[in-house]
Amino acid sequence: MKTAKLIAVVLGVMFIFSTSAYAVVDVIQSPTGYFCPDEAQTYNAPYYRWYNEDWGWTHNAIGGTFTTATLNISAWDVDADAYSEPEVDNIYAWENSSATWTLLGSLVGNDNAWGYTTFVLGSEFFDDIASGLQIWMDIDATHTQDWWAVALAKSVLSLDGGALPGANPGAGLPTNGTPIPEPGTFMLLGSGLVGLLGYGKARLGKKA
């Protein structure tokens, strides 16, 4: 009887832990702003944008506790590895504590391909995430004439390792803010169950 009670108590604690340890993603995409709605529209205006067509967007506010955050932007035709005068599309995030636009880095990618660029967000952005993280893109930052252009499919804010949808427009889109169980949670739950079963068998063996 004591063994059964112990197992029930431990399982209850593990259940509470497992249901609270969720990763979260927030996806901003078409029809918001100038995100490309589908691959057929990739090269069409206003989705394929040039140096003087910079723009920004705001992620949904995400409450709760988290320990890691990344911003993941899916872009098309980023010639970051061009032989001469490579494309530089700078990504900024607004940081309330310093009241400044902070440069996160530049998009990376290849010609005629969709792909993610991942930016790690430090803890200084956590309060901004809670209120709605603001993002700004400076397209083709090194030129003042039409030189390089780029299109975006989506911007994904991932907290505590939330899984990303596919990079292409319309691919694998999770619902905004949907909790996604972390693989580690299931591993912890499974190992706990194995340990409890072993403990229960040992107790029964002693009684026999």
Q: What is the pLDDT of residues 197-207, one digit of tens each?
A: 444 444 445 55
Domain count, the chain: 2
pLDDT, one tens digit per residue, over 10-23 is: 444 344 444 444 58
Same domain, 142 and 162: yes
CB-neighbour burial class of residue 157 (10 A; exposed 0-12, middle 13-18, buried 19+): buried
At 27 the three-state DSSP class reads: strand
**Residue burial 57-68, b: 16+ Cβ < 10 Å; e: rest:** bebeebeeebee
Q: Do 138 and 114 share a structural domain?
A: yes
State whether 87 and 188 are in the same domain: no
Query: Rounded CA gap, 120 and 161, in Å?
Result: 11
Q: Are residues 190 and 133 in the same domain?
A: no
Cβ(155)–Cβ(28) below 8 Å? yes
- Rounded-to-integer distance, Cα 116 and Cα 168, Å: 9
Query: Are 64 and 152 in a shared domain?
Result: yes
Q: Rounded to an integer, what distance in angstroms lies between the CA atom of residue 95 and that of residue 105?
A: 15
The rounded average pLDDT for each run of 10 residues, N- to C-terminus, in the chain (208 residues) is 48 42 85 95 95 97 94 93 88 94 94 93 96 97 94 97 93 53 41 46 48
Q: Are residues 54 and 65 in the same domain?
A: yes
Report the pLDDT value the prediction gives residue 81, as an integer from 0 to 100. Answer: 81
